[in-house]
Amino acid sequence: MNFEYSEKEKLFRIEIKDWLENTLPKSISDKVRKHQRLSKQDYQTFMTILNDKGWLATHWPTEYGGTGWNAIEKHIFEEEIIIASAPRIVPFGTIMLGPVLIEFGSEEQKKYYLPRILNGEDWWAQGYSEPGAGSDLASLKTRAVNMGDHYIVNGQKTWTTLGQHANKIFCLVKTDINSKPQSGISFLLIDMDTPGIEVKPIITLDGEHEVNEVWFTDVKVPIKNLVGKENEGWTYAKYLLTFERTGIAGVPYSKTALNHLKVISQKTFKNGKPLIEDPVFSSEIAELEIDLLAMEIFNLRTVSAASKGKAPGMESSLLKIKGTLVRQRTTELLRKAIGPQALPYLPEQFDEGWNDTSIGPDYAGTIAKQYFNMRKISIYGGSNEIQKNIVAKASFGL
Amino acid sequence: MDFSLSEERKMLQETIARFFESHYDKIDKHHFNANLPDGFDNKIWQESADLGIISALISPDFGGLGGTGEDISLVFELIGKSLCVEPFLSTGVLSSTALSSIKKPKTKILSEIIDGSFLVSFAHSEMNSRYEECHVETKAVSSPKGWIIDGNKSFVLNGDTSKKVIVSARISGEINDKNGIGIFLIDKDNIKTRSYNTIDGYRAAELEFKNSSGELIAKDEEALKCIIKTNAAGALALSAEALGIMQICFDTTLEYLKTRKQFGKSVGSFQAIQHRLVDMMLEIEQVKSSVMLASATFEADEKTREKHVSAAKNLVGRAGKIIAEETIQMHGGIAMTWEYSIAHYAKRLIMIDHLMGDADHHRDRFRMLSSI
């Protein structure tokens, strides 16, 4: 057994770290650190500099302009991006649609769409969930009727993350309503400028606009925008969902949050002593750290196996469950750590250029908000309950 | 990065697994051996020595063939699966670690441990010391005839059959002082011994020292370091043992849930049950990861070693409770019976939290060792 990164991998990490330090604009990393709102331009700026370097499409083979990295290299890269407080790479084009087009798209589609994902001409949104189809995605109702040279699409998609910035959306639509739920689904690429599409914001419990509803009323979509074969979209959808996601455990996010928690617990006082010296509270931190330490090894075991060609199966689901629980726990302890300082809510504090003084310590204003925001992670991407169903079905033989 | 075992270790693992499977094919063996006069089967112990299992627990520096954290974990994961009662922990890990972690290692005794001919017990615990490293009430005074030990040691694993005991005793200072502890090697003859079986089927003893003469083998800082290292080796071994037990608990529960029918279908077909099985599986993956980390860094600096061992033992304590209780609950009434094997695995898993520091103890240690 050897838990060390190889020399080559260590150098690779240093290369990325140095590059991020020199290239990532400080104005953007400051915003990420302070949990301020990021503009479309902030995301785009980061993705553009990544693309200039050739590091944007970490999940694509080199022939299409991807990095061709193995699982360990991707893991290192994902870690360093988070450590550097860079914005996340918006995944819908790069991580989700790209691999589907490469695997199932026509030559024409690949030639047209892939470069546009890389150079930022297209910002993709994901049209999967519907009001009546969350965990039970296959029960989706959005209809696409084949009119010969085009489809007519009617229906509604929801939870469309950053859809307010998107000019394109890939959608799962029902093309055969008479077949079994999974078999009548198709995968369509839709231009957001098409008449009949309306985007309505959903404001989440933390007061933010991150997700949207997308409504389709008699939207005309050319037949050539169908990916693969009609009625076989479920296969592509699943391919996209189970696409190897090494970052699923979110270990670096939790590590950053844990360090933040320790720092705050030194600055916060209880009965005249730093909170970190309170045996009950520091015990909670200690057990969280122990869970995270074990999960980091579990994650590395999976990443290491993936780099040797073993596709992660139920490990992804287990890591998703534990990863989200641990990450949520960090936000919970942060919220507890600051006590009543968690109460004040100044929405304008998260705007660019806000210069007023905060109420209480400058780190306090975002903590409760983060806690509420992070409730989503055990729901999205296949809720933790669905992950348990997947593991049970895949490995118990019950 | 490579998380797999070397070819050599894989072979060792297969050999040891076969050995335990042949000797502990039924739970009855566990009960039968536990109730032999010595509390274990001497023949199995000797055979395990001949096969090199004890040797795998001891470093080549002292005549063994292993002794690293990885070796200890490999052997003890299999011990956990077998529920064997031979003195691998008491003599094989605790005493051998203590005797090799001092400035002048006891090489002769170590070689006799390796060949299976000599048993030594490690006697640090006292009735009121809980899991503390420095709590030593037993006293040692220097006399013209040598060191004289007076006091009591408790829960001494295999303390009835060992020929010598390694005893911590206070030379100076208060009960909880870090300094002033000595470690003594004492012949077992003429020591008042009250032996008993533990609730999970292992042999232990209460030892009473009255004017007992002993050989001082370490004192002060050296003694404390020796106790800490010995406890760490024990906690690592028990963590790996617990991992083996957890895997048996999970596999047995899953199998049972496939065959047990209620309301006309297998109990395992209910989603409420399936989700709890996934929770168990997840706990086991976490424990496995932490045992791997503690094993791989057992030869690192003391702080890293202690931090990772405490992380593993804390997690084992927390997860062990979940796995043991869920195993019994999901089986239902059958797991309440003495006859059914899994009950005894669950018992051992719970009682492991009462040896070499429980989850709370190790959480507090981790807290102290973890830097900000």
Instruction: Supply the DSSP symbol for A365.
Output: G
**CA B368 – CA A338 distance, rounded (Å):** 22
B68 close contact with A: CB closer than 8 A: no
Q: Percent of chain A, pLDDT > 90?
A: 83
Residue B135, beta-bridge partner list: none
* In the block, residue with structure tokens 């919970």: A332
pLDDT tens per residue across span B15-73 = 999 999 999 999 999 999 999 999 999 999 999 999 999 999 999 999 999 999 999 99
What does each C-alpha distance from A352 to A203, A210, A212 come to in angstroms? 19, 16, 22
For A105-262, strand residue ranges (E) read 124-127, 143-146, 150-157, 168-174, 185-191, 197-203, 209-222, 226-227
Q: A-contacting residues of B 137-166, CB under 8 Å?
A: none
Residues of chain B contacting residue A283, judged by C-beta atoms under 8 Å apart: 360, 363-364, 367
Which conformational region is residue A144 in: left (phi greater than 0), alpha (psi within -120 to 50 degrees), or beta? Answer: beta
The domain over range B7-119 is classified in CATH as 3.30.1490.100: no
pLDDT of residue B69: 98
Phi then psi for B129, rounded to 5 degrees? -90, -10
Q: What parts of chain B have a pLDDT lower than 50? A: none
| Number of Cβ atoms within 10 Å of the Cβ of B4 | 13
* Of the partner residues A290, A301, A391, the one whose CB lies closest to the CB of residue B314: A290
- A318 with B266: Cβ contact below 8 A: no
A276 close contact with B: CB closer than 8 A: yes
End-to-end CA distance of chain A: give it in Å, rounded: 34
Q: Give how far A184 is from chain B: nearest CA, Å.
A: 27
Question: And the tokens for A311?
Answer: 């596709």
Residue A274, H or E segment: strand A273-274
pLDDT tens per residue across span B55-70 = 999 999 999 999 999 9
pLDDT tens per residue across span A331-342 = 999 999 999 999
Residues of chain B contacting residue A261, judged by C-beta atoms under 8 Å apart: none
- B370 with A1: Cβ contact below 8 A: no
Residue A316, H or E segment: helix A314-337
* Of the partner residues A3, A290, A397, the one whose CB lies closest to the CB of residue B366: A290
For A71, nearest residue in chain B (alpha carbons): B1
Residue B184, beta-bridge partner list: B167, B216
DSSP assignment of A156-200 equals: EE---TTGGG-SEEEEEEES-SSS-GGGGEEEEEEETTSTTEEEE
Q: Give how far A345 is from chain B: nearest CA, Å.
A: 29
Mean pLDDT value across chain A: 94
Beta-carbon contacts of B226 under 8 Å, excluding residues fewer than 6 positions away, are B98, B101, B102, B183, B218
Q: A-contacting residues of B 252-291, CB under 8 Å?
A: 254, 257-258, 266, 268-269, 271, 274-275, 277-279, 281-282, 285-290
pLDDT tens per residue across span A364-395 = 999 999 999 999 999 998 899 999 999 999 99
pLDDT tens per residue across span A132-169 = 999 889 999 999 999 999 999 999 999 999 999 999 99
Q: Give how far A190 is from chain B: nearest CA, Å.
A: 38
pLDDT tens per residue across span A353-365 = 888 888 999 999 9
* In the block, residue with structure tokens 């604009």: A25
pLDDT of residue B361: 98
CATH number corresponding to B225-369? 1.20.140.10
* In the block, residue with structure tokens 């860079």: A86
- A293 with B311: Cβ contact below 8 A: yes
| pLDDT band with cut points at 50, 70 and 90 for residue A3 | confident
Domain with CATH 1.10.540.10 in chain B: 7-119
- A396 with B277: Cβ contact below 8 A: yes
pLDDT of residue B70: 97
**CA B239 – CA B219 distance, rounded (Å):** 28
**Residues listed for chain A:** 398
pLDDT of residue A354: 85
Half-sphere exposure of B196 (CA within 13 A, CB side): 8
pLDDT of residue B372: 56
Domain boundaries, chain A: 7-89, 124-232, 246-395
- CA angle B162–B168–B174, rounded 5-degree value: 155
Handedness of CA B54, B59, B65, B68 (dihedral sign): positive
β pairing state of A209-222 and A150-157: antiparallel
Beta-carbon contacts of A272 under 8 Å, excluding residues fewer than 6 positions away, are none
A293 CB burial (10 A radius; 0-12, 13-18, 19+): buried
* In the block, residue with structure tokens 């017990």: B121
The candidate with the shortest Cα–Cα distance to B161, out of B123, B138, B193, is: B193
CATH number corresponding to A124-232? 2.40.110.10
Domain with CATH 2.40.110.10 in chain B: 121-219
| pLDDT band with cut points at 50, 70 and 90 for residue A244 | low
**CA B51 – CA B36 distance, rounded (Å):** 22
DSSP reduced 3-state for B367: helix
pLDDT of residue A311: 76
Residues of chain B contacting residue A276, judged by C-beta atoms under 8 Å apart: 372
Question: And the tokens for B334?
Answer: 């059958």
Homologous superfamily (CATH) for A246-395: Butyryl-CoA Dehydrogenase, subunit A, domain 3 (1.20.140.10)
pLDDT tens per residue across span A40-57 = 999 999 999 999 999 999
* In the block, residue with structure tokens 């292992």: B202
For B121-219, which CATH class? Answer: mainly beta
A294 close contact with B: CB closer than 8 A: yes
- A385 with B275: Cβ contact below 8 A: yes
pLDDT tens per residue across span A84-118 = 999 999 999 999 999 999 999 999 999 999 999 99
